[in-house]
Chains A and B, each alone.
Chain A
Amino acid sequence: AQSVTQPDIHITVSEGASLELRCNYSYGATPYLFWYVQSPGQGLQLLLKYFSGDTLVQGIKGFEAEFKRSQSSFNLRKPSVHWSDAAEYFCAVGATGAAGNKLTFGGGTRVLVKP
């Protein structure tokens, strides 16, 4: 069965500083990997996804993530954080097959941005 671990529950970063959120996954086959962001009281917005190909993927809002198969990781980065990036971030692995689609999420990392 697939699983996702986000080791950091909370991260505080100063506005303008860089941000890196960690994600480790466990999945038997080639994974479909996602990063979602959730603002308070809102649903999930897709930041970026990795299906195959280039291991460095670009997403919306200036985010990027790097897939490292050898480390089973898919870390999210942003070079310069804006106050509006304060939110909760979820890494997820997607499974598919005859039983359909299913996303397994990590526990989330809450990002606080200091002025």
Chain B
Amino acid sequence: KAGVTQTPRYLIKTRGQQVTLSCSPISGHRSVSWYQQTPGQGLQFLFEYFSETQRNKGNFPGRFSGRQFSNSRSEMNVSTLELGDSALYLCASSLAGSGAYNEQFFGPGTRLTVL
């Protein structure tokens, strides 16, 4: 079974631009979560999508948004990029549901550099 895939793997943007990152979960997984990793703040939870609905959200400004499609693929968008948005963005997928914890499987990440 193929793992979580993220595209693109590397991205360079300038301040003020916007960017869209894509994540394809493991087949059969219906939940997709996004995390930001920076040297200063470490790994931080951005949001989780399940059945095309945002189910959980971290403490990030409204410039960070996401969506999930009917095939469970997800995109995240960052508008009006700032230098501090330079980070590794990790996507993770899990089976579904609430209640018992569902293990998350991570993709390789998208390295975003904002100049």
Q: Does A98 contact B (CB under 8 A)?
A: yes
| Interface footprint category on B | 20 to 34
Majority-rule SS of B interface residues: strand
A96 and B100 within 8 A (CB)? yes
A43-B90, A100-B56 known; A32-B101 Cβ under 8 A: yes
Interface contact B56-A49, CB-CB below 8 Å: no
For window 13-47 of B, CB contacts with A under 8 Å fall at: 31, 33, 35, 42-45
Residues of B within 8 A of A51 (CB): 101
Number of A residues, CB within 8 Å of B: 27
Query: Are the C-beta atoms of A101 and B94 separated by less than 8 Å?
Result: yes
B55 touches A103 (CB 8 A): no
Interface stretch of the complex, out of B69-77, B78-86, B106-114: B106-114
A43-B109, A46-B103 given; A101·B48 CB < 8 A:
yes
Residue among A43, A97, A100 making CB contact with B106, cutoff 8 Å: A43
Q: A107 to B108, Cβ gap below 8 A?
A: no
User: Contacts of B100 on A, CB cut-off 8 Å?
Assistant: 96
A60: chain B residues at CB < 8 Å are: none
* Contact mask for chain A residues 81-115; partner B; CB cutoff 8 A; 1 contact, 0 none: 00000000010101111111111111110000000
Cβ of B106 and Cβ of A96 under 8 Å apart?
no
A42 at the interface (CB under 8 A from B): yes
Q: Looking across the interface, which residue of chain A has its beta carbon closest to that of B4?
A: A43
